[in-house]
Amino acid sequence: MSVRANGRHIELDGIATAHSHAFQRALRGRTHRKKRASETFWSWRELMYAFAMRLDPESMHAIARFAFAELALSGVTAVGEFHYVHHEPSGRPYADRTILAEAVIRAAREVGLRITLLRVLYERAGAGRPPEEGQRRFCDASTDDALADLDALRAKFRGDPHVAFGVAPHSLRAVRIETVERALEYARESTLPFHMHVSEQAREVEECIAEYGMRPVELLAERGVLDDRFCAVHATHLLASEASTLGAARAFACVCRSTERDLGDGLPLTSDLVRSGARLCIGTDSYASSDPFEEGRAIELDERARTETRCAALDGAALVEVLSTHGYAAIGMAGREVEDRVVLDRLDPSLAGAADETLADAVVFGASPRAVVEVRIGDRWVVEDGTIAGLEQTTRAFEDALRSLSS
Ligand SMILES: [Zn+2]
């Protein structure tokens, strides 16, 4: 982790978003009109499902490629893609079973980003309830089928140092604990990262208590799921004791503040998580924002709003570690961040006047993505002079995909 002054530039190691659903970039700005008495996460989810039903391999690729180009332009070098749209809308697998996962991986590689494809397992609408129509394409006939697809993907991309894989039971709502345990066995055999949405909404916690008599983190701890490769995405509705449990396991908590604000997810116990030793990372999740500096500062600023204090949990240097070291480690790329470089223009209006002694604070609390002038990922310059090769075509393909999906 470091922030270095270099003439008129400021240089950072690579920055990772550890939680992304790239296709949801298509929804930005399109879900903010009130259509019923009370809009919630659950009513937003209906809109997202309706959109996910219409995706095909071509539109998935076009949207993901644009989403990843925007990430790179904003200073992001690595993405953990929590990939859950696997099959045809009916739920039947494509003839080429992994075509959608490969469309997303290809999009990242064309842009130049590192990607960890976190292959999602999904099997039900909730305790004792079969999948709803909008969830069928997320579901596999069996856990073995899902893991076989992951085997095939891993074999296909073996040898590409920019592509990695992880296992991701969607949530305790969507997957039974026995399936979580089976997936964990697979992940541990291959030392893969293990990600899950955990306690994003209060209702999930209530349903978990009703089904198992325990809260989500309590259940995961009891079944031995938590370790230093486990990443709890959101971790919004934890008790302080659950935050301690995550910390004791040296697990990750992936905080996605722009999305959580957008969806009305509530505020996490950030100070408790940090104090207990949980490693925080950021996620651009639904692409309410693609700005990693905003995601980083929001972790601290929302904690200030919650606790009515200043300098509550993390300073600039610690937040750079969140963006960089922890993010890469969470997606199974520990240490690779030093192979990547994000270069900021110190004379950009968002950074002008930054002091050497507080450079990390100036970057995390002040920088706009506009300040990103160069991004190198491995030995490839992905962003040069503030732009990315082929941006116009990438944008046009994205807009074409949106038009055809909404017609
Ligand atoms: Zn998510």
Q: What is the pLDDT of residue 2?
A: 82
Instruction: For residue 19, report the distance from its CA to the centre of ligand 1, in Å.
Output: 6
Low-confidence ranges of the chain (pLDDT < 70): 1
Sign of CA dihedral 236, 71, 153, 133: positive
197's enclosing H/E stretch is strand 194-198
Both tokens assigned to 240: 């302080």
Pairing assessment for the beta strands 387-388 and 380-384 based on DSSP bridges: antiparallel
Catalytic residue among 234, 262, 345, 348: 234
Q: What is the pLDDT of residue 1?
A: 53
Instruction: For residue 99, report the distance from its CA to the centre of ligand 1, in Å.
Output: 21
Catalytic residue among 285, 302, 345, 361: 285
| Ion ligand 1, residue ranges at CB < 5 A | 285
Pairing assessment for the beta strands 252-255 and 9-13 based on DSSP bridges: unpaired
Q: How many CB atoms lie within 10 A of CB 95?
A: 7
Contact 72, 112 (CB under 8 A): yes
Instruction: For residue 256, report the distance from its CA to the centre of ligand 1, in Å.
Output: 9
Specify the pTM: 0.98
Instruction: For residue 283, report the distance from its CA to the centre of ligand 1, in Å.
Output: 8
* Nearest Cα to Cα of residue 250 among 165, 338, 329: 329
Q: What is the pLDDT of residue 333?
A: 98
The yes-or-no answer on residue 19 being catalytic is: no
Q: What is the pLDDT of residue 141?
A: 97
How many Cα atoms occupy the beta-carbon half-sphere of 387 within 13 Å?
7
The yes-or-no answer on residue 285 being catalytic is: yes
Q: What is the pLDDT of residue 406?
A: 86
